[in-house]
Structure 1
Amino acid sequence: MFSPALRNDLCEILSSSFTSDGMDELGRLLFRHYSGHQLAGADRHVTLSRPRAAQTLVDHAEDHGKLADLVQLIAELDGRQFLGKTLNVDAIEVFFNALARVGIVYDPSRRRLYHSREEIERLRNWGSLRDDRVYTIAAMSVDIVGNSQLVRTHGSKKVETLSYELLGFLQRKLDDYDGRVWNWAGDGGMLAFTFAGCAERAVMCGIDIQRSMPLFSLSPGYPLPDQVALRVGIDTGPVKFSSDTGRIVSDVLNYAAHLEKAATEPGCVSISGRTIELCTPKLLGIFEPSGDYEGYPYRTTARLDSLFGEAEGCSEPEPVGAR
């Protein structure tokens, strides 16, 4: 169930968050007469090093088919009192994300690990984020340009089909960059990225989305005669997570939405100052310095979606706050 790399990660979590005595106590919660010293062949008067105590516990749990139980126990103890202190388990979400990548998800409501290879790419918490905790999130606001006019011109049924096909297109793009759809309202929504490199992945995904719009318009399920345009705005920063992602209140999500709607032209990607700081000069090379929006610097690209000519929305009046 656990690869050698995952077992090593689990040992690192144990050795960084628990003392040797704490690991013995964990062992006794799983095995009534557990003794790390006895299993390691060490004298009881000698203190086991944390790495050795962790390896001993992980090996014993694996030998007895209790590795999943050990992970569940650590997850349940995180943030609670353990041996007279509040336990904060270092990097547990990163470990859960590593598990999720191989299709193993920890479900707090069920208090167990389960296999979910089919579901994992759609879990809004990546199988690892936990409610009421703060994480660095790169938030991407995406909006169909001139949606109301599209409804008047083509009818609501075709535009609803467009929204459905667009959402599927975006989900396929997100799979390549480990992103998630947090909210979708028909004419646009909020996409999210987290963990290491989330800002750069969000920016590359936004560029990829815009550059792929001409091909999306040629797909068999595309319902309109002409290509539509999107606007994309990205901000990065701390967000308190909730499983009900549509109800998350955050300055980061709000700024991404405002930047997209008021300072981004059709077919372009705009990024906030906080996102700029997290991107390499090479990636920033395709963005133009664009000034300030709501008192903060931002940059935007030239139009990226015009491979086959103009898309609907090209003649939209210049947004407030644009260059």
Structure 2
Amino acid sequence: MTGNVKRRSVIAAMLTAGLVTATPAAAQPAPVAATEYPWRQLMVDTGREYFPIDWLEARVRELSALGMNTLHLHLSDNQGFRLRSDTHPEVNSAQTYSKDEIRALVSYAEGYGITVVPEIDMPSHMGQILAHHPELQLVPAHTTPAEAQQDSLLGGPETKIDLSNPAAYQLMGDLLREFLPLFPGPYWHLGADEYVSDFDRYPQLSPYAVRDYITWASSILAETGKTPIVWNDGLQWPGALGLDPSIIIDYWSAGTAPWIRTGRGPAELAANGNRLVNAGFTPTYFVTGGPASGLNTPPALLKLWNPGIFVDLSTLPAASRSQLIGSGVFVWCDDPTAMTPDEISGPLSERLVIMADKLRGR
């Protein structure tokens, strides 16, 4: 299926399901009582593609001019680890941000009223780190051809750290504690996405492994008073959610494809007391290259989007709608060679203007 056909299919599905409508946004019912969402962000995937500091500073100025307030930096992924580590220099990519560069960027952003939210994505998306620590890679008990194909879509087992190995926590803890002091803001993104769902292949893991990782990592963040943020798709352990209600959840996916109704819905998470950011793959993601770029929502359709409708097509009950704190634009560089930072700037700015208007008021 070509990108244009995929895009038309997504548009048709969104219109049919009600994720957007042909009715002007101003005529749609307001999803929350407030006139402004408090969380208005841009996320940049610097883990896969290196973005120069001056490019990031330009985005800070742009966010400030648009009335947005959060810059989320996805600083690690399978293709790169961008924070220059002294405790584990072996994991550093060829292009990294020094500690002085990060301090200066955070200070620069603060001057424009922008909070920088860092993310070191664990326990999955760790290909760059685990290439230097193969002894910590998660090894499946068996792999069929079908399972190998599915693995390849998510980076393979070599991109996931073995949460049953105590040495895994030593490495992850070293990295968290090294970089926590660089970011004085109140938030830290723990990742926790796209780890394991087929636990029969990994008998060494507890089905609660991701929950236990989040709890463990949150205790480290608590040492500096930071609030954790996680992606929603990792919250798939059996039984009750049992998640600390202070954790903020980026709700991006509802199953193996973003618009399939599976897993825990936004209402369940809100009922637990958690705040939510609407990070729906459709339509908040801008993927710069690779197969998923064919699913990018055109700006014209983004104008019709209602931020109160999640990717599973649900809305929060009236009593918990204030727990939807905002949304943003998420730039993913699945193919880091597809677009240069300068080529990304134009289409990103077009989307930021629309998103800023959506989140500023209704």
The question of a shared fold, defined as TM-score above 0.5 by the shorter chain, is answered with no
Report the TM-score, using the length of structure 1 for normalisation: 0.27
**Structure with greater contact order relative to length (CA < 8 Å, sep ≥ 6):** 2
Choose between structure 1 and 2: higher strand proportion. 1
